[in-house]
A = this chain, B = another copy of it.
Amino acid sequence: MPPRLDVDARRAQLARAVWHVVLTQGVGAVSVRTVAHEAGVAVGSLRHVFPTRAELLEFSAELIVQRAAERVRAVPQDGDPLAHALAVLEELLPLDATRRAEMEVNLALVAEAPALPRLAAIRDEAAAGIALLCRQAVERLGGRDDESTVRRLHALLDGLALHLLSQEPGEDVTWARALLRAELERIASHHG
């Protein structure tokens, strides 16, 4: 007895509409009306799956984190630890339109955190996940598993992400990949 409406699909559709509004009109333009209109449904239908605006925003943020986590999980685990680590961490860099949009939306939603405390919690969970990935990368590369090594990698990763975000969508991104690769090679060469 499947429900006549696929609630999860509808939720994802509305979350995508949120992302689109954020990207084109800014997070200030996100309202139940604009999002419903963007998704092509009535406000009442939106409110059937998201009774309040907060739930809509929180789900949208959670879905972004979840998508990124899935992409990381889907990275093939071949023999070369450096190539694998690079591939994993590059999934967290806005190197194409999709990842760029995700990061931009995430940043905008996080900026609303004082009003929606749940968003701060989502941000913290995501940060913890990325920190874990950095730690695993350091371990598999055989680097010193200093706390400082992990933290430097993590900070460098997020700093690169931030700078990629503020350059125009079409611009060159190879410099960022090269910098990340250099850091991973540097970690691998410092055995401890």
Contact = CB atoms under 8 A, between A and B. Distances in A.
Interface of A: 22-29, 107-108, 110-116, 123-124, 127, 147-148, 151-152, 154-160, 162-163, 166, 175-176, 178-179, 182-183
Tell me how many chains of this kind the complex includes: 2
17 contacts: A25-B115, A26-B111, A26-B113, A26-B114, A26-B116, A27-B111, A28-B28, A28-B112, A127-B163, A148-B178, A151-B163, A151-B175, A152-B179, A152-B182, A154-B159, A156-B156, A159-B160
A121 B72 CA distance: 33
B182 A148 contact: yes
A75 to B, nearest CB: 22
Given A160-B155, A162-B158, A111 B108 contact: yes
A92 B102 CA distance: 26
A129 to B, nearest CB: 13
Given A26-B113, A158-B162, 12 more contacts: A22-B114, A23-B114, A25-B114, A26-B114, A26-B116, A27-B111, A27-B114, A29-B115, A108-B111, A151-B175, A154-B159, A155-B160
A23 B183 CA distance: 35
Residue of A22, A107, A147, A163 with most chain B CB atoms under a 10 A cut-off = A163
Nearest to A119: B26
A23 B162 CA distance: 21
A135 to B, nearest CB: 14
Contact of A115 (B26, B127, B151, B152): B26
A124 B154 CA distance: 23
